[in-house]
Amino acid sequence: MMIFPTIELQNGRCVSLGRGRLDEPALWHVDPIKTARGFAEAGAEWMHLTDLDAIDGKTGNEALVADIIRAAGIPVQLAGGFRTKERVERWIDQGAGRIVIGTMAAREPQLVRTLAQMYADQIVLAVDVYQGQLMTDGWRTAAAITPEAFLHAFDDLPLAGIIVTDIESDASEPTQEAELSVITSLAALTRHPVIASGVVRTEDDVARLKYVKSVSGALVGRALFRKTIDIARALEVARPEQEKTAAFI
């Protein structure tokens, strides 16, 4: 299973959101570029980066995002505010390994189909679910389409993967055990690799996800900054176990 260590940026700083609210960030006093490099040094093969300000159309983080992409040492999966074809193309040109699209896919599905065909294996679909509803606009608006129908609408495309976020689990208390049912049930409906989001707080969560056949990866962000999980250990737990082979004499 692939672990995607995750940075969320707001006003140029690393943050985590309280209950998914943009106005309630927890601020982490770390350097974003050094943090990204640390992920690579620990052995991560990819990282995930969300520009929270871009969700509201703000561009203040763009220079920092570009610096992280150049300096990280591993490919960057970039999310946050992708509403136009031009913005997707610009960030792919600037070196983003993958672009995560959610709201635009709900509003302009044909455009996203075009982008997925233009950039095979570089577009990731974001499926954010709250109480059975598909959410858009940074988790603030319920879409008219169901999560299941949303998945089905894009299942024939050459997507790089699908990020499924269980918003209720993400917003729950950190001491609560993460609930995997939303992610596992939706993952079973698609042929694409599914990346779980919002459910990793400890190594045990990584171990549980590792054995869910339809889940191929997980975003790990807040738990790294809270130090309830270590990135090197998470990567080790997520690695496939070597099959035992018989010794022949």
User: Catalytic residues, which ones?
Assistant: 8, 128
How far does CA 180 lie from the centroid of its chain?
16
Q: For strand 98-101 and strand 76-79, is the pairing parallel, antiparallel, or unpaired?
A: parallel
Count of H helices and E strands in the chain? 11, 12
pLDDT class of 243 with cuts at 50, 70, 90: low
Domain extent listing, the chain? 2-238
Kindly report, residue by residue over 47-82, the tens digit of the pLDDT. 999 999 999 999 999 999 999 999 999 999 999 999
Give 57-75 as a DSSP string: T--TTHHHHHHHHHHSSS-
Burial (0-12, 13-18, 19+ Cβ within 10 Å), 89 = middle
pTM for this prediction: 0.93
Characterise 76 by phi-psi region: left (phi > 0), alpha (psi -120 to 50), beta (else).
beta
Distances from the Cα of 152 to the Cαs of 112, 187, 190, in angstroms? 14, 11, 7
Q: Which CATH superfamily is domain 2-238 in?
A: Aldolase class I (3.20.20.70)
Note the pLDDT tens digit of each residue in 9-51: 999 999 998 666 667 789 999 999 999 999 999 999 999 999 9
The rounded distance, in Å, linking the Cα atoms of 147 and 143 is 9
Residue 134, H or E segment: strand 133-136
- For the chain, the average pLDDT equals 92
